[in-house]
Amino acid sequence: MRCGSISAGVTCVLLVLLATGRAGVIRGDVLDSFYTGLAAQSVYDSVGFLRWNEGASGYIASGTLISPEWVLTAGHVVGGTNNYGAGVSGMFFGLGSVYSGTGIAATEWIPYAGWSSSNGDVWAGVDLGLVRLSQPITSVTPALLDFRTPLLGLLGTNVGYGRSGTGTLGMSSDAGVKRAGQNMIDARGGMVTKMEGGTLLELDLNGISPTVLFQDFDNPTDLVASSIGSAIPVAQEYLIASGDSGGGLFIDVGGVTKLVGVNSFLASLPYPLDTTGANADYGDLAGVVSVQSFENWIFTVTGVPEPSVISLLFFGLGGLVLTRRRAE
Ligand SMILES: [Ca+2]
Ligand SMILES: [Ca+2]
């Protein structure tokens, strides 16, 4: 079943794609400088902006450098007019605290094959893309990918250049400033979770791929607005917004910051539970694609992560066994 209507107390999320240049929306009671300051930490230097044109329209989104020449982003950022990348021109990738208008030109933009063949179905959890740069970037350290750590219940840090505002009103300012905010990784597609607060409802995530991770924007002054997980917001709680598409979701693994997801979409509970739609106000939800099922694709296209040891063992008349060990 796809996302259905409210029935028997079971509801599901409505969706808005973040494609069209719509940094994240912040708590109304926390200074913006905490969010821009978090984004300025060197462990997030690998997150940059992507700028491109489709026809007469210009777009901005986000992406993460995973090797000197490759940027990991969302499929809907690189999908162009047909989800296969058609119609995209003038794409470039830049770094820094704000959108600067300049960067390194892209030579290829490659949506994940399943994104193209699904006709851009975000519920399928395949909203991933890769961008090849015309020259390597050596000024920042590429992000380290993590394909193994169980993610549910962990604190994640999302980074991007999307629109901002406060949770009371949702996104209201333009995209182009780099922000990072935090949120618990509460659920994944396929789970059905109970809302906390006054009304007991179940959020139906059936029909959504388990590769989609969900975060909700908890309201510091209205715990009833929580959609999933704990109703208590974290100190730098925020929700991604338009323009954060393709930006990274990071976790801490034993003191090392690692990239585990790609910002994909915003969602809201249906009317009348939410009267504002998916505008990144309190109670709305973010969908992030976990990279954990896509290690082979990323490695095949980019050679990342680079194996630390490659040994070739030849047997008899041309038999070949390749073993590789990954750097931990
Ligand atoms: Ca939350
Ligand atoms: Ca809303």
DSSP codes, 128-151:
-EEEEESS---SSPPPPB-SSS--
Q: Which pair of structure tokens corresponds to residue 269?
A: 């509970």
Give the distance (Å) from ligand 1 centre to CA of residue 233. 6
Over range 167-181, report the average pLDDT: 94
1-15: per-residue pLDDT in tens?
Answer: 233 322 223 333 444
pLDDT score for 23:
59
The residue among 107 and 304 whose pLDDT is bigger is 107
Average the pLDDT over each of 24-38, 145-159, 225-239 and give the range with the smallest value.
225-239
- Please state which of the ranges 106-115, 122-131, 221-230, 247-256 shows the lowest mean pLDDT: 221-230
Give the number of other Cβ atoms within 10 Å of residue 113's Cβ. Answer: 13
SS3 call for 83: coil
* Ligand that comes closest to the CA of residue 15: 2
Q: Which of 130-144, 174-188, 200-214 has the lowest mean pLDDT?
A: 200-214
10-42+144-295 and 44-142+297-307 share one CATH topology?
A: yes
Q: How far apart are CA 68 and CA 48, in angstroms?
A: 13
Rounded mean pLDDT, 96-105:
95
Containing 124, the helix (H) or strand (E) segment is none
What is the β-pairing status of strands 202-204 and 10-12?
parallel
Bridge partners of 78, per DSSP, are none
Most confident range (mean pLDDT) of 128-137, 268-277, 302-311 is: 128-137
Q: Which ligand is nearest to the CA of 220?
A: 1
Q: Are 170 and 29 in contact (CB under 8 A)?
A: no
Identify the residue with better confidence: 273 or 238. 238
Distance 85 CA to ligand 1 centre (A): 33
Centroid of ligand 1 to alpha carbon of 261 (angstroms): 16
Q: Which ligand is nearest to the CA of 219?
A: 1
Ligand 2 centroid to 276 CA: how many Å? 4
Checking if the pLDDT of 45 tops 70, the result is: yes
Record the tokens describing residue 133, joined without a space. Answer: 């740069």
How many angstroms separate the alpha carbon of residue 184 from the centre of ligand 1?
5
Report how far ligand 2's centroid is from the alpha carbon of 239 (Å): 11
Contacts for 110 with CB less than 8 Å, ≥ 6 apart = 78, 85, 129, 130, 131, 132, 301
Joined tokens for residue 84: 């296969």
Hey, how many other C-beta atoms are within 10 angstroms of the C-beta on 88?
Answer: 19
Residue type, 25: V
From CA 264, how far away is CA 75, in angstroms rounded? Answer: 9
Centre of ligand 1 from the C-alpha of residue 133, in Å? 35
- Nearest ligand to residue 27 Cα: 1
Q: Which amino acid is at 184?
A: M
Which bound ligand lies closest to the C-alpha atom of 273?
A: 2
pLDDT for 196: 55
pTM of the model: 0.87
Task: List the alpha helices (DSSP H) in 203-285.
Answer: none
Q: Which of 91-95, 127-131, 268-272 has the lowest mean pLDDT?
A: 268-272
Residue pair 158/248 in contact by the 8 Å Cβ criterion:
yes
Of all ligands present, the nearest one to the C-alpha of 235 is 1
What's the 126 CA to ligand 1 centre distance in angstroms?
Answer: 23
pLDDT digits 0-9 by tens, 285-311: 999 999 999 999 999 999 998 755 444
> What is the chain's length?
328
Contacting residues for 231 by C-beta, under 8 A, at least 6 apart: 196, 197, 218, 223, 224, 225
CB-based contacts of 4: which residues, under 8 Å, 6+ apart?
A: 10, 12, 204
- Closest ligand to C-alpha of residue 236 is 1
26 has a pLDDT exceeding 80: yes
DSSP string, 94-115: E-SSB--S--EEEEEEEE-HHH
Q: Which ligand is nearest to the CA of 275?
A: 2
Are 231 and 197 spatial neighbours (Cβ–Cβ below 8 Å)? yes
Closest CA to 36 of 142, 136, 162: 162
What's the CATH number for 44-142+297-307?
2.40.10.10
For residue 63, give the 3-state DSSP assignment. strand
| CATH, domain 10-42+144-295, list 3.40.50.2300, 2.40.10.10, 3.40.190.10, 3.10.129.10 | 2.40.10.10
Ligand 2 center to 299 CA (angstroms): 37
Q: What pLDDT does residue 193 have?
A: 65
Residue 190's pLDDT is: 87
Q: What residue segments make up the domains of the chain, in order of their start?
A: 10-42+144-295, 44-142+297-307
